[in-house]
A and B are shown apart, each in its own frame.
Chain A
Amino acid sequence: MFFYSVTVILLLTSFFADRKKTIRALKIAWRKFSNILPMFIVMLVLVSVSLYLLPQELIREYLGEEDLLKGMGIAMLVGSIALMPGFIVFPLCGILREQGVPYMVLSGFTTTLMMVGLVTLPVEKAYFGMKTALIRNGIGLIIAVIVAFATGLVFAEVMQ
């Protein structure tokens, strides 16, 4: 994995340059990790439940909604709640596209997935506080609406 190769190379370089500093870096890493760990566990609990409540088949069914605005609303709601890795999301969107789901529904779905995170809220709250976390997520939702409509314009889905 590329990411770990980079990490290991940097860690080794650091170690040979300054052993003490490197050990301090690892201690900082552990302290930071262990302090946020409880919130990560809460996030994992929420993810595991949300994945159960919103399985792929259900998402496919929901996003296949005929009415454009209704479809977008559902897509953004699901996108805000769920947390999915890219390697699941985009193949899924590819399938949905082939089934005739409009691009704007899909961009609303992916953008909310990326920017709005109900399940990451426990982690976000620990750093930003609840109020700021909520504002940031609200902004993400607004941006997703704008992105979706821009997509609809470019793909000529809103002009009828």
Chain B
Amino acid sequence: MKTKFPVILITAYTAFIIFSLAFGYQPGKDIGTNFLSFTLSMLKILPGAFILIGLFQVWVSRERVEKHLGENSSIMSFLWVLLLAGTTVGGLYVAFPVAWALHEKGARLQVVLAYVGFAAVCRIPMIIFEASFMGVKFTLVRLLVSIPLVVISSVLLGRYLKAGNWKMISPD
């Protein structure tokens, strides 16, 4: 399944920005600036992330992923995705395509969901930044509470979805 291009939304948005620029409508100009700055910061990350996903696809065998993260993998599988999530850059929007690539190679749903959760809460650069502004205690509490909750909720949600024969959609 291909994601459809949201023509109407994009057209209306573009028209709004052009209109704002032409007539000096400040909120529109601000929104346009936001769009530009966020696009730039995302473009710094996305190409690299997708290249790594491509390399992962061709170099890592399905057997290997299945052995460590698949249906019969041990509790260690959660530790592997925790480490992978720690090194994930950007944010959730990078974690989703990575999660899909893992699932495509045979990682079980519980582990994939846990990866997404971990990528949200324990990316290492973010943790260092957080601890330096908020203190180590603040960061430790957050991590020690959220990591087990991510594991528990991922296992439960994974089981629930599997029971309903749910399949992850391929956007490509």
Contact = CB atoms under 8 A, between A and B. Distances in A.
Given A28-B53, A91-B133, A94-B134, A83 B91 contact: yes
A52 B31 contact: yes
A45 B133 CA distance: 30
| Interface of chain B, main secondary structure | helix
Contact of A45 (B2, B10, B130): B10
A139 B97 contact: no
B48 A150 contact: no
Interface residues of B, number: 70
A114 to B, nearest CB: 4
Interface residues of A, number: 71
A80 to B, nearest CB: 12
A120 B75 CA distance: 29
Contacts of B116: 136
Interface stretch (A57-65, A66-74, A104-112): A104-112
Interface string B151-172: 0010001000100001011011
A28 B46 contact: no
Contacts of B161: 132
B30 interface: yes
B125 interface: yes
Instruction: List the 7 shortest-distance A-B pairs measured between CB atoms, nearest first.
Output: A29-B54, A25-B54, A48-B35, A48-B34, A90-B133, A35-B172, A94-B133
